[in-house]
Structure 1
Amino acid sequence: MKSCHRSSGWLPSRLPVALLVGLFWLNSAPAQQPPALPPDESPLPLLRTAYTPREGAPMPVIQMAQGRDGLLWMSSSQGLFSFDGLRFERFVARDGPQLPADTPLSLAVDAEGALWLGFRFGGVYRVRDGRVTAFVEGLPMRSVVVLAPGPGGALWAGTTAGLYRLQGRRWQPVTAADGAPLPTRERGIVVDRQGALWLLSRARLFRAAPGGGPLVLYQTGRGDTGLLLDPQGRAWWADNDRLWLLDGSGRSMPQGRPPSWPVALERAQLVWMDRLGYAWAADRDGLLRLALDDLLRHLDDPRHPVPVQRLPLNAEEVNVGVSMLDDREGNVWLSTYHRFEKLQLRRLQALQREGRAMADVALAADGQGDLWLSSMTDGLLRWRGGELRQLRPHVNIEAGSLLAVPDGMVWLSSAGGWRQGPAGLQALPPLLPGTPLKPQALARHDGALWASLAGLGLYRLSGDRWLAGPGVSGLPEGPALSLWEDERDATLWLGYVQQGAWSLRAGRLQHWSVEQGLDVGHVLVFAPGARGFWVGGSEGVAWFDGQRFHRLGSASGQDLRGVSGLVETPEGELWLHGASGVIRVSAAEVGALRADPRHVPVLEVFNADDGLVGRANTLRPLRTAARTGDGRLWFATELGLFWLDPARLARNAQPPQAQIRALRSDGRTLDLRRPQLQTGARSLQVDYTAAGLTQPGRLKFWFRLVGQDGDWQAAGTRRQAFYTNLAPGSYRFEVFAENEDGVRGPPAQVELQIPAALWQTPLFRVLLALLAAGLLWGLYRLRLRNLARLLALRLEARLLERGRIARDLHDHLLQEVQALLLRLHVAVSGMGPADPQRERLETLLDEVERVVGHTRDQVSSLRQPLAAPLQLFESLRTLGEGLATQSRTTFEARLEGQPATLPPDIAEELHAVAREALRNAFQHAGGRKVQLVLRCAGAGCELTVQDDGVGFDPGEAPADKSDHWGLVGMRERAERIGATLRWQRLESGGTRVTVWWGEGSLG
C-alpha cells in the first residue's frame, strides 16, 4: 500500500452506528427483492464474494495492503495474515524475532516492497524476506494509526500522541510551527505525487513541502473525515460539509447544492478512491460509487451530473467500521467487523427490469440487431440501443418461442401467437382455440411458419390456416425439440430426442444420426457458421461441413453437455451455452478445427465466478444464446438474462508471481535461504503458490526439478510437488503460474543440495568396485583351483587306468605273444636251411617281433604319458618313419619354435589326432610325400599333416567307421580339448590337416 487511499480505516465518526449496520447482505440476508433505487442511482455491477472465519478469514480485518508479490496482507486482532486468493496464512518469521503479540492497526508497503506495521500499544516493525526488524527507538508507547511511505525512503508514522518521521533507525517527532504535537487518526496522512506531505490533525490541515520542509497550516475545516489520494496522486480532503481538491485552487464541492448533485451524496461522506478512477462514499443505506471524472467535471461546472451506483447494506448485521483496498488486478476488497468481501468486475452482466431478474426468458435477435424477449412475468419485450421496452404486457403465460422474420418477429405462446411488424403487434390465426399450447420451436420454410408443440407435434401456418403435420412422410411421430432453416440452401433442420436430426429440402427428407457423425444426444439447437453450421445437444456439440458431422472435443476437459445456445461471431469465435456455463472457442481454434476436424480445441469457460447465475434450459424455452447488432452476446438461464461484449471483455493482464512457500524433506522443514537436505534424504515436498485474487481457482502451475525432470510438469491447480528417491547432487526447483486469461508470470526458483552418504560417494563406489573385482577374482581363482583339482583327479584316475591296461598288456598279451615267438623260433630252428618255408617264417617272425616291440613301446607310453611337445614330435616322427618303411611314400618331419610343456591329456589327444591323419595320408592319399610339422609358440601348439596325393574332401568321407576312429573320432578328440581341426584340399593336389590348440592359430 504505497498511499493510504488504497486502504481506509474506520468509517467517519459522524456516521451513526445505525448507518454502519450490515455492510454485507450476500449470505445472511433473507430472500427478498431489494428496494427500488432512486432515479439518479443504479445498482453496482460488481460480483461479490464473501469470506468468513469458516474459510479462515481473520475477523475483523483492520487494515489491508498488497505486496509486490501480489499477496494480500491484512492485520487483525489475531496478528498478520497473507491471502493468495484461496488460503489465509498467519505470518510467522522464518527465524529471529517474531512480531509482538499485539494488534497491528496500520499497514504500508514501501517502494522496496517491505511491509511496515504499526501496533496498538506502540512500535513499528518491518517485515522483509520473512524476517522481522523492530523500529521503536524514539517512538512513544501510543497507538500507531497510520504509516505513510514517501519518496526517497522516507517514512512517517501518525500516532495518537503526534507525528514522527524515521531517521535511520530512530523516530524523530514532527511538530507544528508553534511546537505543538500533531496527533492524527486513520486516513490522516497522505503524500501526494509531488512528494508533499499532508497531515490532518484536529480539523486542521497541514502541508509540508516536498523534501521534508516544515509543516505549515494550510486550511481549517469542519471535522476531519479523512485525506484521500486519487489514482493520479492528487490529494483530496473530505470534511463534514465538502470535498476539497488540494491542488491550490481552493475548489470544493458541492457549491450551493446544485440540482445535479445526487441527493444521496448530501448525507454521505467520501471514504476512499480506487485505482480504477472511482470514488467511494458511505451513507446510512450502504456504499456509493461515482466516477472521479464526473467529480472533476462537476468542480468546473456544477451543472454536470454525477451518476451514482449503490452497494446496499444489510441492516441486520451491525458493523463498527470498514476497511477498503483495491488490488492490482482491479478487485475491490471490503472488510467489516464480521465479513471480508471481494468486489470484482462481472464479465457477465445481468439485465434486470424494475430491479428484478429476468428468468426463463425466450430470446431471439432480428436482422436489425435488436433483441426480442418473452417471459411469463414480462410478456413481450424488445431491447434496442440500451433501452428495454415492453410491447405486450404480462399475461401470465409461458415464455413460448420467438422467431426472427425478415420484417419483424413472431411470438408463439400458450395463449396464442403474435407477429410484430411494421404495422405493430398483430395476432396470428388461432391454432387450437381453447387448447393451451406449449410451443417448443419455430421456423420458416417454403414461405410457411412451422411450429413444434409439446404433446401435439408439428403444425404449419400457410396463409391463414394451420395445417397439422409436416406434409411429408418419414419423420418421427411427436414434436421436434428444435427447428431451424438454413437460408443459404433453404434446408429445414429438425432435431429430435434420441433420434438425431432430419433435413428437409425441396421435399426430400434425409436422416442424420451417429453413422453420419451426429453424436450429441438430444438435438437442442442449430446455429449458422461461416462454413457449415453447428449443432448443440444434451451430450455435446458437432460441426457440419456439408457432408457429415464432426463432434467437438475439449483439450481442457470441459463438460460440453446440455448445450442449448450457439453463436458464431463475425470475428470467427464460437460461443456455447450449456451445463458448464458459457464457453468460448477462439477464432484460431475454430479455424484449426475446420482445417482438421480431429483437432481438439482449448476452451475458455465463464461460469458463476464470472457472474453467470443459473443453468441453460434444455427443454423450454430453447435457443438460449443470441447476438445483437452492437456485438453483445446474450445468454438466458433459468434464473436470469446475462450479456457480455467480447470486444470489451475484462482481462487480467497481471502476471501471477509464483512463490515457494515451504520445503520439507522426511518430515523436516528446510530453510528456504540455504536449503540442504539431510544425508540420505528419501523424500522432498515443495509447497508453492501465487497470488491470483480474481480467479484463484483457475490459476495453473508448471514446475520442474532441474537435474531430475527433463521438461516442465503440468500441475494444474495443485500447489504442491513431491519427489522421492533423489540421488545426491545439486538441483534447482522452478515453478511458474498462469492466470485465468493465459498470462504467465516469471518462475520462482530455489537451489537444493542433497549431500551424499558415505555409500553414495565416488570413493565408496571405487572401493566397492575394487572389492567386487577382488571378490570376482577370488571366485575365479577358487574356481580354477577346483577345476585343477578335478582335472588332477581325473588325470590320476586316467593314469591309473592306463597303468592297469599296461600291466594287463604286459602280463598277458605280451607274455603270451612272447611265448608264441619262442615256440615259433624253436620250430624254425628245427627246419632245414634249405626249407623254402624257413625264410618266409623268419620274415614273419621279424615282423611279429617288430609289432611286439612297438606294442611294448605303447605299453611303456601308457605308463609314462607324453609331457612335452618334443616327446610328442619324436613319437609322431617314429610313427611316420615306420609307416614310410611299409610303402613307397617318403616321410619328412619338422619341429619349429620353442617347445613348452603340455598337459598330458592334451598331448595324448593331439598325438591321437595326428596319428590318424598320418595313417590316412599313407594308406589313402596315394602320394609320393607326407610332411609332419609341429610349431610351438608360447602356450600354443599347431600340428600339420600334409600330403601330395589325390586330395581329400571330408564331406565325401563316411561320418563314422566301426574299426577305427575315423573323422568323427578326430573331431571329437579336438573338441574335447578345445582344439580347432581343419581339412583343406590343396589346389596343387593333396590334403592338409591342421589342428591347433592354445591361444589362436599359429599358422
Structure 2
Amino acid sequence: MTISHSIRLCFLMFWVSCTAWAADPGRYLSQYAHSSWTIQDGSFSGIPFAITQTKDGYLWIGTESGLVRFDGVRFVPWVEPEGKHLPQPSIYSLLGATDGSLWIGTGHGIARWANGELTTYASVVGRVNSIQEDDSGTIWMVRTRLSGQIGVLCGIKGSKVQCYGPSDGLPCANGANDLTLDQRGNHWIGGSEALCCWRPDSSSTYLQNDLKTTAGLIGVSAVAIGDDGVVWLGIPRAGKKFGLRRLIDGVATSYAVRGMDGATLSVNSLFLDRNKALWVGTVGQGIYRVYNGEADHFGSSDGLSSDAVQHFYQDKEGDVWVVTSKGIDRFRNLPAKTFSLREGLTADSVGSVLATRDGALWIGNQGGLDILRHGTFAKMSSHDGLPGQDVTALLEDHGGRVWIGVDGSLAVYDHYRFRLVKREDGGAVGVIVAMAEDAAHDIWASYTGVAGNPPGLLRIRDLKVIENISFPPDGGALTLASDHETGIWLGLRNGGVERYRGGHFESVAKSGDGPEDAVANLLVDPDGSLWGATDHGLIWWKGDRAATLNSRNGLPCDSVYSLIRDNLGSLWLSTRCGFITIPASEVSRWQEQPEGAVKIRLFDMFDGAQTAHTSFHPSVSRTVDARLWFANDSFVQMIDPSHLETNNLPPPVHIEQVMADRKNYSPTDEARLPALTRDLEIDYTALSFVVPGKVRFRYKLEGRDTDWQEPGTRRQALYSDLRPGKYRFQVIACNNDGVWNEEGAVLNFSIAPMWYQTAWFRILCLASIMVIGWILYRIRVRQVAKAIGARFDERLAERTRMARELHDTFLQTIQGSKFVVDDGLEEPLNAEKMHRALGQVSGWLDQAIQEGRAALNSLRSSTTLKNELAPALRRVAESGVVPEGMTISASVIGDARELHPIVRDELYRIGHQAIQNAKAHSHGRSLEIALIYGHDLTLHVRDNGVGIDPGYVMSGREDHHGLQGMRERATRIQGQLTILSSAESGTDISVVVPGRLSFLYPGTGIFSRIRNLYRRAIRNHDPL
C-alpha cells in the first residue's frame, strides 16, 4: 500500500469518527412507509385541498367538488342531507373539533356537520382558508375574497358568530391564508400583506414592508409555531426575504440546513409533527422534512402524488398525511428501517453486516465496503486500498482488527492498512463465506472452491494459514461459530452440525439429508447450547437433547435465515415471512417443554420487513446501541428493540351500511327490515390507518350465531338464512399490533314476519291442530264405539238368527217327532201303529240332522242357490207331515231374477216359517205359495184355515218365536211383513221387499246395468 493510500485512509477514518452529529437513522423519508391515492386512481373526484380526522376516527378530505370520507380502505362521497346544502361545493379547509363535529370551510362560507345535522352560518362569507379550535372550544377561521373592509378573522361559539377587523385592532384586513394558535392565546395570521399576531388586548405586524413591495404575492401562505416559541413562515416565492423563514424575537430570517436552503423554496404549507420535525410543503418542489438540523427531500420522482403540496395533517396514530394537487399521501414510521442505495449505500447487493465494538457498522457490498458511523455512510473501495471489489464475509477479532473476505481473497484491516492472507503455496484462499475466532484466538475461515479446488476450512494464526481442511465437492461449512471452551462449530451445507477440535470432527446432530436441510446460521448461547437456522425451523441442541422450533410451535413459517439475541436475551429471527422476536422467558419455557407453543411478535412486510437469504456471514449483527442489523442480499434493514413503537389505540368500529335484498337501510339502532328478507349484507369498518390491511375483525349475530365469527380482514357480514325476529349484531376489531376494541359497534334490528309467520298465526295453527285432533279423536272414538257396537250387534243378530233357525227348523222337527212318539205311546200294544210311528220319528230325526247341518252351513254360505227360492219353498211345503186333504200349489209370477243372497235367505226362512205354521195350525184344505217378480219382490203364503188368534198376530204366543222371527227377518232386509187373518178366510202372510235391495240386475239395458253396478257397489257396504 502506498503512502498516499495510507494518508487517504487515515483521513477517511478520522472524518468518519469525528462526524458524530446526532442524526436519527430514521430521518430519511424513504425509510417511512409511503402510500398514495390519486385522482387518476379514481379514489375521489376533484383536486383535494384539506384533510382532517373527526373524533369518531374517520378521515375527511375536502376537494373542489365536495367532501369525501375515508376509512383507510374505502372512499365514500359525503351526501348532503335532504333539504340542506353546503355554501359551496369547493372545500378549502376542514377541522375535526373536540366535540366530534366536523367544520367545513368552503369557497363561500362555513358549515358544521354533527349528528347527521348540517348547520350553515350565513353571516360568514368569503373563502375560508384555515380553521382552528382554542382551549375553550371556540372555532376560529380566517378567510379571503372579501368585499369591503370586514373582518378576516371570525370566531364561533355555539350559535354566536363574531368577526374581527381593523376596528378591533386586527391589522390584516385584506384577507388571510393561514391561522395558528400558540400556547399563550395569540392568533398568528398569515395575511396577504403581512404576518399578524393578534389577541383582543394586543396586536403585532411582521414582514409588512417586505411583502407590500413585491407585486404578485399572496402574502404569508403558512404559519407553524414550535414549543420553543419559534414561528416558522412560508411564503410562496423564492428569495432572500421569502421562501421558508424563521421568526425569533420578532426578527424574521432565512433558514437553511444541510440538504435544504429555505430561500430557494416556494413554500405553500408548514407542519410540525409530534416528533418536532418540520414538514415543508412547496408549490412545485415536493416535501422537505427538517429534523435535528438536517433536511430530507421527497418528491414526485420518489413516488409523491405531486410536487405541489397543499396541506399536512397528522392523525391520532401518528401517520402524517400530505395533500397535493393530484391526491393524498401517507407517511408512516416503520419498525424495520431500510438502508439502501437511496440512503447512501454503494450498491444494493449487501451480503454481510458486522457491528464493531467502536459502534460502527461494516457492510459487505458489491463494489466496495460501506461503513455506517453515527448515521453517516463512508465508502472503501479499491481506490482506498481494498484488495478487490466485492466484499463477502466479515469478522472482528479480539484485537479490533477487521477480517474481510473480498473477491477470492482474505484481507485484514489493521491500523488503516489492508493486509492479504495467503496460503503457504501462495495461492488464493477462495471465496470466504464465513469466519470465526476460537478461544485460542485462531481465525477460522470457510471458503468455497475456486479453479476446480474443493471447498475447505482454513485455520489462521499470526496472519498465516496453519491448517487447510478440504471437504467433498458437495459439502463444506455455510456458517461458523466459536465454542466457548475449545474448537469451532460448523453448520454444514449437506445438513447437520459438526464440531472440530483437536484435529478431529465430531458430529453433533443431523438436521436432514439434503441441501434443503442445510444449517445456514449458528448461534452459541453462554450456557453452551447451540441454535441452528434451517429451512425446516430453528434447531436447538444442548448436550444429548435436541428439539426443533417451527410452525408447530407457533412460528408463522419454517424457513429461518439467521438469528441473534438482543440485549434483553430475546431471540430475533430473520425468516421467510419477516422478522420474529421471541421473549427470553418464552425461549426458556420452550426449552423445558419443546412440544409447547411460544408467543411471538411478527414484523412482516407491512412493518417494512424485507427478508431474504444471504450467502455470507455475518448476516445479522448487533451494534453497541442495541440495534439489530440484517443483510438480505440487497440492502440492510435495522430494528431497534429498545424503541419499538406499539399502536395502543384500539380502532373505532363503525357499522356503515345495511343492505337487505339489494336495498339500502340506515344503520340506525332498531332498524326494521321487511318480511321475507333473504340476503342481508352488513358493512362495517375499523378506523386504524397505520396498516389497514392488518386490521382484523370478529362479529356475532345474537339470535343466529352461537359464537364469534372470524372473517379476518373482511369488512362485510353476509346472511341468507335469517328468520323473522329480533337480532343484535356486534362487531369488534383489533389494530395492526393486535390491540382489540372489545366494545366495538352494535346494531339492533328486526325482520318483520309475514302473516303466516306471526305468533298469533302459530297460536291459531296450534289451536286448530288441537281442535282438529280433538275432533279426529272423537270421530275415532265413535268409530271404535260403533265398531264395537256393530260387533256386539252382529253377535246378537247371529244369536238371534241361530235362535230363529233352531226354532223354525230343528226345534219344530223335534217337536213334531215328540208328537209322533206321544201318539204311538197312546197304544203301546198296537205294533203296527208303533212301527209306523217309529218309522215317522226316524224320518223326522233324519230331517232334524239335515236341518242342523243346514243351519251350520248357513254360517258359511247361503241356504238356497241363486234363483231356486220358489222350488225350495215348494219342497218345504211338500216335505214332512202334510195334513190329510190339504192341497199345495206354488207359482212364480214375472221373470225370475238373481236375488241378493241375504234377501233370498231371509225370504226363504220367512216362507219356511209361514208354511210350517199353515201346515201345523191352519187346519185348512189348501196352501198357496206365490213368488211375484215385479218392481219389488213379493212373497205370499196363503191358506184357507181357521186363521190366527188376533191376540197372537202382533206378539205371538208365549214361548213361541215364529211370528217374532218373521218380523225380525223382514226388518233386516227392509221388507214389509203383512199378516191378514180371519176365521172365515184363513191367513194370508205377505212380504214385500224393495227391488233395489232384492235384485242384483233389475234391468237388461246398458243404463240399467250401469245403475245396477253402482247399486251393487253401494250394497256391498250396506249394513245388510
**Do the aligned partners of 1:228 and 1:273 also contact (CA within 8 Å) in 2?**
no
**2:944 match:** none
Measured in 2, the distance between the counterparts of 1:494 and 1:709 equals 52
Q: Of the candidates 709, 719, 723, which is equivalent to residue 715 of structure 2?
A: 719
Three-state SS of the structure 2 residue aligned to 1:225 is coil
Measured in 1, the distance between the counterparts of 2:700 and 2:298 equals 48
Runs (5+) with no aligned partner, structure 2:
1-18, 212-218, 236-240, 824-851, 860-1024
**Do the aligned partners of 1:144 and 1:158 also contact (CA within 8 Å) in 2?**
yes
Runs (5+) with no aligned partner, structure 1:
1-36, 292-305, 827-855, 864-1003
Which amino acid counterpart does residue 581 of structure 1 have in structure 2?
G
Cα deviation per residue 1:577-623 (whole Å; 9 max; x = unaligned)?
1222222233454344334323333443334433345x4125x1255
**Do the aligned partners of 2:487 and 2:499 also contact (CA within 8 Å) in 1?**
no
Measured in 1, the distance between the counterparts of 2:82 and 2:756 equals 34
Cα deviation per residue 1:750-794 (whole Å; 9 max; x = unaligned)?
332344444444333332222222233333334444444555565
Which amino acid counterpart does residue 82 of structure 1 have in structure 2?
R
Three-state SS of the structure 1 residue aligned to 2:672 is coil
Which residues in structure 2 correspond to 1:662-681 (within 5 Å)?
A: 662-674=657-669, 675-681=671-677
Structure-1-length-normalised TM-score: 0.66
Measure how far apart 1:527 and its partner are.
2.1
Measured in 2, the distance between the counterparts of 1:693 and 1:310 equals 24
Which residues in structure 2 correspond to 1:785-804 (within 5 Å)?
A: 785-791=782-788
Measure how far apart 1:326 and its partner are.
1.8
Confirm whether residue 359 of structure 1 aligns to residue 356 of structure 2: no
**1:958 match:** none
**1:132 match:** 118
Measured in 1, the distance between the counterparts of 2:726 and 2:201 equals 56
Q: Of the candidates 481, 486, 489, which is equivalent to residue 484 of structure 1?
A: 481
Measured in 2, the distance between the counterparts of 1:688 and 1:469 equals 65
Measure how far apart 1:428 and its partner are.
2.3
Measure how far apart 1:359 and its partner are.
2.5
Which amino acid counterpart does residue 414 of structure 1 have in structure 2?
D
**Do the aligned partners of 2:554 and 2:599 also contact (CA within 8 Å) in 1?**
yes
Identity of aligned residues (%): 23
CA RMSD of aligned residues (A): 4.7
Cα deviation per residue 1:116-169 (whole Å; 9 max; x = unaligned)?
11222x13221213442222x2234x3232333344443344332142444765
Confirm whether residue 155 of structure 1 aligns to residue 152 of structure 2: no
**1:414 match:** 407
Measure how far apart 1:225 and its partner are.
1.8
**2:686 match:** 690
**Do the aligned partners of 2:322 and 2:329 also contact (CA within 8 Å) in 1?**
yes
Confirm whether residue 289 of structure 1 aligns to residue 264 of structure 2: no
Measure how far apart 1:635 and its partner are.
0.8
Q: CA 1:216/1:554 → structure 2, altered by over 3 Å: closer, same or farther? A: farther
Measured in 2, the distance between the counterparts of 1:410 and 1:245 equals 49
Measured in 2, the distance between the counterparts of 1:479 and 1:571 equals 34
Aligned residue pairs total 766
Three-state SS of the structure 2 residue aligned to 1:572 is coil
Which residues in structure 2 correspond to 1:247-262 (within 5 Å)?
A: 250-254=249-253
Cα deviation per residue 1:877-900 (whole Å; 9 max; x = unaligned)?
xxxxxxxxxxxxxxxxxxxxxxxx
Three-state SS of the structure 2 residue aligned to 1:86 is coil
**2:873 match:** none
Measure how far apart 1:647 and its partner are.
0.3
Measure how far apart 1:377 and its partner are.
1.5
Q: CA 1:449/1:319 → structure 2, altered by over 3 Å: closer, same or farther? A: closer
Three-state SS of the structure 1 residue aligned to 2:166 is coil
Measure how far apart 1:668 and its partner are.
2.4
Confirm whether residue 272 of structure 1 aligns to residue 271 of structure 2: yes
Measure how far apart 1:88 and its partner are.
2.0
Q: CA 1:434/1:351 → structure 2, altered by over 3 Å: closer, same or farther? A: same
Which residues in structure 2 correspond to 1:129-528 (within 5 Å)?
A: 129-135=115-121, 137-140=122-125, 142-160=126-144, 161=146, 162-163=151-152, 164-166=154-156, 169=159, 171-177=161-167, 183=173, 187-209=177-199, 213=200, 216-219=203-206, 221=208, 222-223=210-211, 224-226=219-221, 228-230=223-225, 232=227, 236=231, 238=233, 241=241, 250-254=249-253, 264-268=261-265, 271-281=270-280, 286-291=286-291, 307-314=293-300, 319-351=307-339, 354=344, 356=346, 358-365=348-355, 371-379=361-369, 390=380, 393-408=385-400, 409-420=402-413, 425-430=418-423, 437-443=430-436, 449=444, 451-453=446-448, 456-461=454-459, 464-465=464-465, 469=469, 477-487=474-484, 492-497=489-494, 499-502=495-498, 507=504, 509-510=506-507, 512-513=509-510, 521-528=517-524
Measured in 1, the distance between the counterparts of 2:777 and 2:692 equals 67
Q: CA 1:502/1:417 → structure 2, altered by over 3 Å: closer, same or farther? A: same
Q: CA 1:108/1:434 → structure 2, altered by over 3 Å: closer, same or farther? A: same
Q: CA 1:778/1:586 → structure 2, altered by over 3 Å: closer, same or farther? A: farther
**Do the aligned partners of 1:554 and 1:601 also contact (CA within 8 Å) in 2?**
no
Measure how far apart 1:634 and its partner are.
0.5
Q: CA 1:356/1:503 → structure 2, altered by over 3 Å: closer, same or farther? A: closer
Q: CA 1:543/1:677 → structure 2, altered by over 3 Å: closer, same or farther? A: farther
**1:97 match:** 84
**Do the aligned partners of 1:359 and 1:641 also contact (CA within 8 Å) in 2?**
no
Measured in 2, the distance between the counterparts of 1:777 and 1:503 equals 92
Three-state SS of the structure 1 residue aligned to 2:249 is coil
**Do the aligned partners of 1:677 and 1:755 also contact (CA within 8 Å) in 2?**
yes
Measured in 1, the distance between the counterparts of 2:486 and 2:801 equals 114
Measure how far apart 1:571 and its partner are.
1.8
Measured in 1, the distance between the counterparts of 2:602 and 2:345 equals 28
**1:921 match:** none
Which residues in structure 2 correspond to 1:469-618 (within 5 Å)?
A: 469=469, 477-487=474-484, 492-497=489-494, 499-502=495-498, 507=504, 509-510=506-507, 512-513=509-510, 521-529=517-525, 532-544=529-541, 546=543, 547-553=545-551, 558-561=556-559, 563-613=560-610, 615-618=611-614
Q: Of the candidates 68, 71, 74, which is equivalent to residue 87 of structure 1?
A: 74
Measure how far apart 1:56 and its partner are.
4.0
Measured in 1, the distance between the counterparts of 2:169 and 2:360 equals 70
Q: CA 1:95/1:575 → structure 2, altered by over 3 Å: closer, same or farther? A: farther
Measured in 2, the distance between the counterparts of 1:770 and 1:610 equals 66
Structure-2-length-normalised TM-score: 0.65
Measure how far apart 1:633 and its partner are.
0.4
Confirm whether residue 626 of structure 1 aligns to residue 621 of structure 2: yes
Three-state SS of the structure 1 residue aligned to 2:761 is helix
Three-state SS of the structure 2 residue aligned to 1:594 is helix
**Do the aligned partners of 2:164 and 2:170 also contact (CA within 8 Å) in 1?**
no
Measure how far apart 1:639 and its partner are.
2.1
**Do the aligned partners of 1:521 and 1:540 also contact (CA within 8 Å) in 2?**
no
Measure how far apart 1:646 and its partner are.
0.5
Cα deviation per residue 1:831-874 (whole Å; 9 max; x = unaligned)?
xxxxxxxxxxxxxxxxxxxxxxxxx9xx9xxx9xxxxxxxxxxx
Cα deviation per residue 1:205-229 (whole Å; 9 max; x = unaligned)?
44443xxx37745445323324534
**Do the aligned partners of 2:694 and 2:735 also contact (CA within 8 Å) in 1?**
yes
Q: CA 1:779/1:434 → structure 2, altered by over 3 Å: closer, same or farther? A: farther
Cα deviation per residue 1:918-977 (whole Å; 9 max; x = unaligned)?
xxxxxxxxxxxxxxxxxxxxxxxxxxxxxxxxxxxxxxxxxxxxxxxxxxxxxxxxxxxx
**2:648 match:** 653
Q: CA 1:185/1:587 → structure 2, altered by over 3 Å: closer, same or farther? A: farther
**Do the aligned partners of 2:536 and 2:550 also contact (CA within 8 Å) in 1?**
no
**1:111 match:** 98
Measure how far apart 1:504 and its partner are.
5.8
Cα deviation per residue 1:427-446 (whole Å; 9 max; x = unaligned)?
32338866683334445669
Which amino acid counterpart does residue 598 of structure 1 have in structure 2?
E
Which amino acid counterpart does residue 535 of structure 1 have in structure 2?
G
Which amino acid counterpart does residue 550 of structure 1 have in structure 2?
T
**Do the aligned partners of 2:177 and 2:192 also contact (CA within 8 Å) in 1?**
no
**1:832 match:** none
Measure how far apart 1:657 and its partner are.
1.3
Measured in 2, the distance between the counterparts of 1:796 and 1:549 equals 93
Q: CA 1:792/1:689 → structure 2, altered by over 3 Å: closer, same or farther? A: same
Confirm whether residue 64 of structure 1 aligns to residue 51 of structure 2: yes
Which amino acid counterpart does residue 317 of structure 2 have in structure 1?
E
**1:989 match:** none
Which amino acid counterpart does residue 53 of structure 1 have in structure 2?
I
Which amino acid counterpart does residue 400 of structure 1 have in structure 2?
T
